[in-house]
Structure 1
Amino acid sequence: MEKVKVGLLGAAFSAELHIDGYLRCQELSRVVAVCDRNLELARDFARRYNIPYVFGDADELFALGEIDVIDICLPNFLHCEMAEKAFSAGKHVISEKPLATSVEEAERMVAAAQKAHKQLYYAEDWLFAPALLRAQELINQGAIGKPLFIKAKESHSGSHSPFAKKLRFCGGGAMIHLGVHPVGFLVALKGTPTAVVAMTTGGGAGNFVHQDMEGEDWAAALLRFADGTTAIAEANYITLGGMNDIIEFYGTEGRLHIDLTMSSPITAYSRVGFDYAVEKAETTIGWTKPAVDERLMLGYIGEIRHFMSCLQQDKPAMKGLRGEDGLEVLKVIEAIYRSAREGRQITL
């Protein structure tokens, strides 16, 4: 079977996460081109990863005939436009989270994929996090009885991206940028909730810490599902000490606690610091939990392999990783924001 030929659109943070996945499934795929409007950044990326074609214009990338799939690793507000152009050029598309900045844009992306008869994959890495895969195995075995309540959150001290500060670029604040992970995981696991109740900080001067952000720096939502299960999804930019991804399951016969980011088998103490502990950690001085293969443990490696395997067979991704799933997640997040604005329960 021929290798899938990939064109990376973007050469910054998300592209670094994805290239690691491609390098670990070279029997399935090959990254043949990278494009970034910062051409020097793209050239450096290509040199480091031995990528033959480098572009500074997305249209040149789309015109490269040998590319099978465009992997969009760009700020949220560019996802829709670039996906539509890629589909028009006859390419499949992988889109980083969130799928778009609005439900309307996500609907356009899904429609464009259907019109072009191409695959739209939604990159939700939590669905391939080994710890969460094992947790779901335990739940399916009946280890905690009937699941009753789930808590899931992602938090850290603030995005590195300047685009995260403006609503027109990001679509919201912490909930759309970070909460998209717990919400996406819950929707993949339980389906669309039937009701949502939420609160957020107010953005700008109404935020706890980040008053230079137009969107909220803290958000939490109660979600009720059709089977009676209740969940809390939380996202915030007020957590110091590194990224904090926690998922808890409570059942009639037991409970599970999953720590995706601070569960390293290494505990370190350093008076002088070192190169890296965990994503978004402000320091490596003192006690830390240095990550071991962080990208594998967060699910990036597994999701890329899954996409490449699906593309070789020209089939949709698993539930939770399809374009329509990314659209459904945005509908839930839109309901969360509406609930917070109107101060009431929203029925979906």
Structure 2
Amino acid sequence: MRESKVRIGLIGTGFIGDIHADSMKKNQLCELVAVCEEVDKKRGKAFADKYQIPKVYNDFEKMIADPDIDLVYICIPNYLHAKYMVKAAEMKKHCFVEKPLCTTLAEADQMIESAKKNKVKLFYGENLCFAPKYVRLKELIDEGALGKPFYIRHRESHGGPHAKWFWDIRFSGGGAMMDMGCHGIEFARWLLGKPKIKRVLASLGTYLHKKITKGEDDSVLLVEFEGGARAVIENSWALRGGLDDRAEVQGTEGVAFCDLVYGTALRVFTATGLGYAVEKAETTKGWNFVIYREHEMYGYPEELANIIDSLLNNKPPKETPEDGKVVLEAMMAGYLSAKLGKWVELPANLPRNRKPYQLWKE
């Protein structure tokens, strides 16, 4: 890295790309030098203007050929993650890939192998492991304040995703569990010290959005770990009122409750409405929970800081592609469980080239 600074090229100017760009512009150890938007050139130009990014590309291969770029952030639809990551790795670029890692186990292995072959680092995007409130929860567990944890509950729900491609399971790989179950699974693993997953049991349903998706808009996943701890992962695209993200941990010596979104929000009433309250809020008239410093609360700046530290100081990152593969395997087993109506033991003989939803729907 030149001058002890990481130079970043980002592809994807949607919701999550915007979040990451905001963190990059506030970190003095990195520089967002390029953005690529292949679908909407006007949006790409507007994004570059917003964040004062000097280079705008409409062709990913041209961006990754740029010698000024050290690290590529891949913030595009799930089904493109592996293809674009491998291309970047072959150009000797380090890569960050948003959750989920990819949509098949074969792709996961291809990505991991490509990073090793090309001697670049591959970072897996799981921001909850960096959210300050959840980091403090992890510290309490590690110091023994709760005794031995045996039950974790994580809930992340809202009224549905921003981009249209999420609703098409051919592109996303699945519905609400594919979108957000990856958060809860890795969150629970991380809190427990990343033990192996023994088995999973899932229930999936579509309640609110049957007209626009063939995927599930509500899911409940039960995960049992080696050592006996269990986690309940609840996810929904059918929750009215905006994002809800909360956790509960029970241990032999205590219990902790954590409300990530509303625990520090401003409670505001307005008859006219306001500009922005919280992610995916349906309306801002009446009573609102108004969030501030939202990206920091979700952990994105600390996630970026961990990646930069890994690159500049040759340290292992907190979240790895191997973690992403474990999560994908657990979700695939969950979709299979929903079809079979019973527990699925892990490791399982899961198909390597099929997407998670196919294990439930086909």
| TM-score of the pair, normalised by structure 2 | 0.92
Residue pair 1:196, 1:345 contacting (<8 A) in 2 also: yes
Residue 282 of structure 1 pairs with residue 264 of structure 2: no
- Aligned-residue CA RMSD in angstroms? 1.2
Mind listing any 5+ residue stretches in structure 2 that lack a counterpart? 347-362
Residue pair 1:277, 1:290 contacting (<8 A) in 2 also: yes
Amino acid corresponding to residue 246 of structure 1 in structure 2: R
Task: Provide runs of 4+ in structure 1 moved above 3 Å.
Answer: none
1:1-348 equivalence runs, <5 A: 1-26=3-28, 28-37=29-38, 38-190=40-192, 191-201=195-205, 207-211=206-210, 212-318=212-318, 321-348=319-346
SS in 2 for 1:283: coil
| TM-score of the pair, normalised by structure 1 | 0.95
Question: 1:188 and 1:126 mapped to 2: Cα distance?
Answer: 10
| Deviation by residue 1:118-151 (Cα, 9 ceiling, x = unmatched) | 1000110000101111111122222222212110
Question: 1:247 and 1:218 mapped to 2: Cα distance?
Answer: 18
Amino acid corresponding to residue 33 of structure 1 in structure 2: A
The Cα of 1:252 is off from its aligned counterpart by: 2.1
Amino acid corresponding to residue 160 of structure 1 in structure 2: H
Question: What is the number of residues matched between the two proteins?
Answer: 340
SS in 2 for 1:194: strand
Amino acid corresponding to residue 194 of structure 1 in structure 2: K
Amino acid corresponding to residue 17 of structure 1 in structure 2: I
The Cα of 1:266 is off from its aligned counterpart by: 1.4
The Cα of 1:289 is off from its aligned counterpart by: 1.2
Amino acid corresponding to residue 149 of structure 1 in structure 2: Y
| Deviation by residue 1:168-221 (Cα, 9 ceiling, x = unmatched) | 1000110010111111212233323111111111xxxxx111112121111111
Residue pair 2:15, 2:162 contacting (<8 A) in 1 also: no
Question: 1:62 and 1:265 mapped to 2: Cα distance?
Answer: 40
SS in 2 for 1:82: helix
Residue pair 2:138, 2:191 contacting (<8 A) in 1 also: no
Question: 2:140 and 2:90 mapped to 1: Cα distance?
Answer: 43
Amino acid corresponding to residue 164 of structure 2 in structure 1: P
Residue pair 2:141, 2:191 contacting (<8 A) in 1 also: no
**Percent sequence identity over aligned pairs:** 38
Amino acid corresponding to residue 266 of structure 1 in structure 2: L
Question: 1:259 and 1:96 mapped to 2: Cα distance?
Answer: 23
Amino acid corresponding to residue 234 of structure 1 in structure 2: E
Amino acid corresponding to residue 156 of structure 1 in structure 2: H
| Deviation by residue 1:295-346 (Cα, 9 ceiling, x = unmatched) | 101111110111111111244312xx11111111101111111111111111
The Cα of 1:265 is off from its aligned counterpart by: 4.2
Residue pair 1:192, 1:332 contacting (<8 A) in 2 also: no
